[in-house]
């Protein structure tokens, strides 16, 4: 296992204020002399969770590429409400934008790792949204980018979804406005169940996909053991809220042209591979189709033909993993 490293930025300004000693957690894989691929985390992911795409013979082949994985602010590894000292601890942690994360990642790459060119940024979900931000914020640096089940702007439809799990947590009787002294069991369980509802395609649920490989006998067992346990065991409630706010406020066009998404995307210089899933309820293919049209010949749309919905892009099953791997390998080899 590659060891997690920590870069201390010192005093670092973010969207909601300042962090006196901001920290970015990251890992590196492969030879630094090889082309660099940047692979940031998504919502609900730690650095360990990036391994499904990283390694010899995988989509991000560490025999060919120098892969750098980054932990988002508020994921519990980089600076987060749960690991920051007073006075910015817990509910006092400032809001953080995607642009803040990219500035932090850029500092690690250029100041610590000596990377001046990025062969590709790639990401799933929130990671895919960061790939868009990289292409817009650093056109001089990024050659290509891959977006898997993500978008350049968090749509109104997506924002409506986000309000469900978020407010289930905020309204719970044990969240206590973020001042809880013990794990808010009611809040996290409610969040997890609301969040799970859109994570998979309708066809997946209709065909009882939770019985995949015979693991879960019924839906309720699946929700308990996958969604509730996953967040209760590995996540802090304030981290979950701060991170979902980053997702909620995502809009790469605010970096350029004050919200004109079509114009912003039309100026992207990097080659793009945009891969939505056919049954994704978070980031539907129609959104990706519009984004690719704005980018013209620089971008290619490839829809993942899966019943797994949003989860198709997150390393959930071997068939989708192989489809994504082949698409990424082909894209990386293209001129």
Catalytic residue (choose from 253, 310, 320, 321): 310
User: CA nearest 239: which of 25, 55, 28?
Assistant: 25
Q: Which residue bears the tokens 């959930």? A: 316
Active site residue 9: no
Catalytic residue (choose from 236, 280, 287, 320): 280
Burial class (CB in 10 A: 0-12, 13-18, 19+), 85: exposed
Residue 319 has φ and ψ, to the nearest 5°, of -65, -45
Active site residue 125: yes
**Tokens found for residue 210:** 């939770």
DSSP 293-311: HHHGGGEEE--B--SSGGG
> What is d(CA 39, CA 126) in angstroms, rounded to the nearest whole number?
11
Residue 218 near residue 57 (C-beta atoms within 8 A): no
> What is d(CA 129, CA 42) in angstroms, rounded to the nearest whole number?
9
> What is d(CA 335, CA 144) in angstroms, rounded to the nearest whole number?
11
User: CA nearest 290: which of 95, 113, 157?
Assistant: 157
Inter-CA distances, 122 with 86, 156, 304, Å: 34, 24, 16
Burial class (CB in 10 A: 0-12, 13-18, 19+), 143: middle
Catalytic residue (choose from 120, 125, 155, 288): 125
Stated as kind and residue range, the H or E segment containing 28 is: strand 17-29
Active site residue 80: no
- Active-site positions read 125, 280, 310
């Amino acid at each position: 296992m590659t060891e997690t490293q920590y870069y201390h930025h010192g005093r670092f300004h973010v969207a909601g204020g300042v962090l006196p000693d901001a920290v970015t957690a990251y890992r590196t894989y492969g030879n630094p002399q090889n082309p660099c691929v940047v692979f940031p985390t998504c919502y609900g992911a730690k650095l360990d969770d990036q391994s499904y795409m990283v390694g010899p013979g995988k989509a991000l082949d560490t025999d060919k590429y120098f892969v750098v994985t980054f932990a988002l602010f508020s994921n519990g590894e980089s600076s987060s409400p749960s690991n920051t000292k007073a006075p910015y601890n817990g509910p006092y942690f400032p809001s953080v934008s995607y642009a803040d994360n990219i500035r932090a990642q850029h500092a690690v790459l250029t100041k610590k790792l000596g990377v001046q060119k990025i062969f590709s940024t790639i990401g799933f979900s929130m990671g895919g949204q960061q790939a868009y931000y990289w292409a817009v914020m650093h056109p001089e640096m990024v050659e290509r980018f891959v977006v898997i089940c993500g978008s350049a702007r968090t749509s109104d439809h997506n924002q409506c979804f986000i309000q469900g799990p978020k407010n289930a947590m905020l309204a719970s009787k044990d969240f206590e406005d973020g001042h809880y002294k013990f794990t808010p069991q009611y809040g996290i369980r409610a969040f997890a169940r609301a969040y799970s509802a859109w994570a998979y395609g309708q066809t997946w649920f209709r065909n009882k996909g939770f019985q995949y490989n015979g693991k879960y006998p019924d839906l309720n067992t699946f929700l308990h053991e996958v969604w509730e346990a996953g967040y209760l065991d590995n996540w802090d409630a304030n981290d979950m809220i701060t991170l979902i706010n980053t997702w909620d406020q995502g809009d790469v066009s605010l970096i350029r042209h004050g919200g004109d998404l079509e114009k912003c995307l039309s100026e992207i210089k990097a080659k793009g591979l945009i891969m939505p899933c056919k049954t994704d309820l978070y980031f539907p293919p129609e959104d990706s189709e519009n984004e690719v049209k704005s980018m013209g010949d620089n971008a290619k749309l490839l829809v993942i033909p899966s019943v797994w919905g949003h989860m198709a892009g997150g390393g959930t099953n071997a068939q989708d993993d192989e489809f994504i791997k082949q698409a990424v390998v082909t894209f990386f080899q293209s001129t």
